[in-house]
Structure 1
């Protein structure tokens, strides 16, 4: 039997969270989320009742980088010929009158060749069945393009731990205010806490704000099914980083200014770009960050509280150390902070 070092054992990254601390709905206002500041050097925590107080921690010259991906309504319900209901999470936004994409399907006894209907407007056929509950499906429509129909029949792709049906509010709030480039099946949730007023205040303060794009796919939230975290693989996700952002990063590094990533997706993108030689890039990113990783770009990060044994939790533990992160989570639980996508925020400095 091969012994796995504790820092690479997935069970090392498990914790218990009371069910009532999972945020099922967003706060009334975006900046009303609570904020926990985690100071890595001092190993201290600072608790704030409102995220908007992050303004006090940001200063002139800071480079704040956000992910401007936009979530499409990727959850869609259909019916079998027998009348049984199925729900699909589409991995790509369908376009045109016929489109093929990977998907997750919730339903009983799903087989290759099976067909579903969505209100007689969309026909869906299962082309292949893969491991892990994934399928290849073909969508067809006659009268209207699929990109129009997905907005009529699709819902916001809320994560499974939000145990309710998506509502109209989710099409707005499961999205950042700066979402621009459509293509994600999950939101860059660290950005939920910013509104236009706060972003304007930060710009006026001299904070430089730039954007990258990472279209979040199944890879970001896929469960880790191996005991040794080093054996986990991240599925590639599409990223775009332009020359302007690269130039700003190089300048900030030369002037020893902070580069602050809003979200784990931005962290992964920036560190991936560093390993590509800091050049503009359009393509796929499969960088997997876990404890032991050497960060080359990111000075600080804003992120939410993450699920136990997830690749996102591994990333923040790599950045701040498992011990400090778990102490922060323990204290946040005591103080009734709200967890996960619609929950409260951390600023790791």
Structure 2
């Protein structure tokens, strides 16, 4: 299985830099087996059945991008350097792993000041990353970060425009609850309160799980034989209540439909040894040939060429069908990636 098998040509004009407004007005490509239908997200009630269960990731994106100054006094007097920081993951001791640019402009032990309230010291470095200890913790840290930080937009958006105040709302789901992600579960960005109400009235049920999406989600696949690729690990949890709800829906004949690849990866991780409550780090890698044990379908955005997410949707629908789906989406000017349009993938075997 070669990396080239998951490549396609995408016109740059189809890369979305802002989401649809309102959220549920985004376009929706519905693939039922070999049949493709063009719709909008508000049409979901046409394809979802009473008794189906949507699995939603309730992670909350933190404003993980920070810009600060490093001050230094030396023989040439007082100097300063601007340091750009992207927080990656909290550590058990309260520190944060982070990307620092340029890392070479700061020494271990030096302070970076982001605002009058918020600063951090570099306490260690490893494999191109730094370990930062902030001067604040708990709610004080959260408040200062909300004030000073910017949303960590994906590279293909950040290269076209900087994050702004709108992104603090646009790049967050309406049900975001548990802070810890540095990237959004983007399929969920299409849901708003009117759509949730319409689905509830239709008899669709909801279960919330948590997967804190990491910056590794944007890492490229660098090996030609994709089966040798090693996935980044992300922390997730399926609660006892969530597992019970999903099992009850399966037993009653309803379909389990994750909204987003993060929710799908998490529940399939929990199903490896018999489905139940689960907590920990998952590095599950889903590519063609994978045996789906819980997921019956998937709602997801359109993904990058040669990405692990292209491999995941190819595993669910089959590589030939995914090539046809993406060719149709490009021909019909669907908007791609995090702020783009959505697809509902319904394998005919389920």
Q: Scaled by the length of structure 1, what TM-score is found?
A: 0.90
CA contact (8 A) 1:74 1:93 kept: no
CA displacement 1:204-231 (0-9 Å, x = unmatched): 1111111111111133232222222122
Is 1:150 paired with 2:139?
no
CA contact (8 A) 2:51 2:255 kept: yes
The equivalent of 2:114 in structure 1 is 118
Gaps of at least 5 residues in structure 1 are 1-7
Backbone CA RMSD of aligned residues = 2.1
Is 1:159 paired with 2:159?
no
The equivalent of 2:15 in structure 1 is 22
Q: Which runs of 4+ in 1 moved over 4 A?
A: none
Distance 1:294 1:134 in 2: 35
Distance 1:112 1:233 in 2: 31
CA displacement 1:174-229 (0-9 Å, x = unmatched): 01111111111110000011111111111111111111111111332322222221
CA contact (8 A) 1:94 1:146 kept: no
2:248 aligns to what SS in structure 1?
A: helix
Q: Scaled by the length of structure 2, what TM-score is found?
A: 0.90
Is 1:299 paired with 2:296?
yes
Which deviates more from structure 2 when the two are superposed, residues 291-300 or residues 121-130?
A: 121-130
CA contact (8 A) 1:78 1:85 kept: yes
Relative distance call for 1:112 and 1:13 in structure 2 (3 A) is farther
Distance 2:131 2:7 in 1: 32
CA contact (8 A) 1:93 1:147 kept: no
Deviation at 1:94, TM superposition (A): 9.1
CA displacement 1:87-118 (0-9 Å, x = unmatched): 211013699xx941111223373455254221
Relative distance call for 1:280 and 1:328 in structure 2 (3 A) is same
Which among 24, 47, 59 is matched to residue 38 of structure 2? Answer: 47
1:161 aligns to what SS in structure 2?
A: helix
Matches within 5 A, 1:132-281: 133-141=128-136, 145-162=140-157, 163-281=160-278
Relative distance call for 1:245 and 1:123 in structure 2 (3 A) is closer
Distance 1:198 1:175 in 2: 16
CA contact (8 A) 1:69 1:214 kept: yes
CA contact (8 A) 1:99 1:140 kept: no
Matches within 5 A, 1:72-83: 72-81=62-71, 82-83=79-80
Gaps of at least 5 residues in structure 2 are 72-78
